[in-house]
A and B are shown apart, each in its own frame.
Chain A
Amino acid sequence: MAQFVKTDSGKRLTRLITNGYMDNIVKAQQGAFVVWIAIIVPAEIFAGFDNVLYCVPESHSALCAGKGVGVSLCEKAENLGYSMDLCSYARIDMGCHFNQGADSPAGGLPKPDLLVSNNNNCTLLAKWFDVYHREWDIPHFILDIPFCYESQKQRDMEYIVSQFQDLIQTVEKLSGQKFNPEKMAQAWENSVEANKHWRRFLAAAKNKPSGITAFDSFVQMAPTLTMRGTPELAEHYRFLADETEARVEQGIVPAPNEKYRLLWDNIAPWHQLRKMSSRLGALDANIISASYTYCLGSREGSLDLLDLESLSPLEGMARLQNFSICPHGLQLRGRAMKQAIEEMDIDGVVFASNRSCKVYSLMQMDQQRYVQEELGVPTVMIDVDHADERKYSEETAFVRMEALLESIDEARR
């Protein structure tokens, strides 16, 4: 099994993320207005203010799970009466912040002055944030974003933009700070630029063998959530894309003996990233792509970049309210997956049935049937939980994944 060596962009990422969490704590102590947001909330809006910072509890929970404290934090929330059936991100977050940031590898998040959720990724985020709204008596602004069975319609975009305008007024009122649309516009340009380089990085998966693993993309996705709109994000993704392209040119790839090119459908199993990647590598299998990451910035139902040129920043952000896979219906997900399978020459698909994410998982049985029966691509479904390791069995998962590899071999005969 190859020894894991961090790339320069991996080291850079660690510094960025660590500094980001520390900076937030310091700035909050110095009086910054703190907003907790769900991942799809347009963070660029807050860049339009001089002293507003945002934190992303979901991303923090993923970090906790990745660092091995997910289970203990879940248990803390369960001891407070929260059901084990609730999303593990939420349980980790509540377990941490109702215990003054205990066990957080990042020192916890500074307490918010405002909570902003949206409901198209999942409505549960609004219920989760409502817990803090009640316990800490903090205002909670919900962005109401229609679910997409087809591409977002103009009317939906207008409705969303009107809510962004309300959000801006809310932040102005609560923070006492004046909104500067030019600063927000600059942040938006940074995000658009960052996304272009992100796509360059993901495109390395088309190489044979793939220049990346999906696990790289899971980890490198973090700053999109926590640093969106910053020039540092754009610069980091440019660095990441350049380094990845250079490595591919030099033949430095994560799975040189790549025999099986796999696609992962669902959120990353944060507590298993390195283990799963290594164990698959030993089988000459590489999960090269994931629906969780290839949808960022894409048109619904496609891997193609959204054309945002003709849109104002607020319109562009409204359009990108669908940047995750969860707001998409079955047909849209199927079309995007078909394109991913074809463009990246995928041999097999791993459907990770995730107990903590119904919005991602409940369509998977039909999606699996579509991929297996209509596209003729071998698939497997394994049981996971993205952040609660108690709901994952490595041996059971690998028995199934090894069976997938055998199916792929069989299909090749």
Chain B
Amino acid sequence: MRAVTWQGPNKVTVENVPDPTLLNQHDAIIKVRLTSICGSDLHLYDGFVPSMLPGDIIGHEFMGEVVAIGKSVRKLKIGDRVVVSSIIGCGKCWFCEQALWSLCDNSNPNNGLEAMYGYTTSGIFGYSHLFGGYAGSHAEYIRVPFADQVAFVVPENLSDEQTLFVSDAFPTGYQAALFCDIHPGDTVAVWGAGAVGLFAMRSAYMLGAEKVIAIDRFPERLEHARVNGHAVATLDYTETDVIDALKELTGGRGPDSCIDAVGMEAHAGGLPGMYDKVKQSMRVETDRPHVLRQAIQACRKGGTFSIIGVYAGLVDKLNMGAAFNKGLTFRMGQMHGPSLIPDLLGRVERGEIDPSFAITHRMSLEQASEGYETFKHKNEQCLRVVFQP
């Protein structure tokens, strides 16, 4: 089959590779119908996630059709159209039982994270060997372990495009909003108007937020925030003092919750930007924490900071004193897909949201390299590139 492989920073190629086979009894093989490039893939593409090997098949946001099942698969049948959680959980360990699927004890065959984080977390499709080394979805076929737990049959009346983002970006944004523990009257500020941030905005309203404020720098993304995220105000952080503006927009109180939907490659100008960029490129600091710094400062006293943008390692110069003395609550982590997806499919089916708004570019797998470049630089007003293998 054809598959997109990581070859090194800023280099992906499309290769002929063997078709995947069932390796375990709980596996299924899925014929990929749609798969997208996610902001998380950029961290791989840019070379900031360790333990990638040249030749690794990448991609983790996908939906498709079941073409083979292992002998212990009970729920799925050949021919089912399914959307698959990007993070993999076994469904049996204590963490999965607590709905903390991305902390699954059993789905990551590699124990390397123990040295970096103290404990190993779940496997993720196409997301480096530390996260399990699973072959990803930018391919014609993909092997899905624990298939009954992570693949969900798509209602017949929903299109492929409507359900693709229920694999990753929508549950991620939804979990960011859940973390906020939203109360009536709450204002939620969201950094990053990529697909994840936009779904976080809509989810915040679903969970009862009064108003959402979006922060980004690309005009077309801020426009998406107004139109598709229903943000009542948008801030261009390159032109506005974000902390002042947020105060002003909230009667001086500050946002009740702040969501970081940007992560470790946050962009910033000036000397702080240069400082972190050099540190990160030299691996003295692994992550660039501009959004962390700004949100800690901006959040109202006693508020919640929800971090869903991905961080991988060490950050520098965080104002812990501000976080501590303001009594902030921090919530963070990879999303717990399987516990969210059934509810989110229901919301799409009931017409509460049509996630397909996030698709701006459709390409074939052969155009992977062009797709990655376009998405990385946000050229042509790109919000999400979708491959149809």
Chain A bound to chain B: no
Interface residues of B (CB under 8 A from A): none
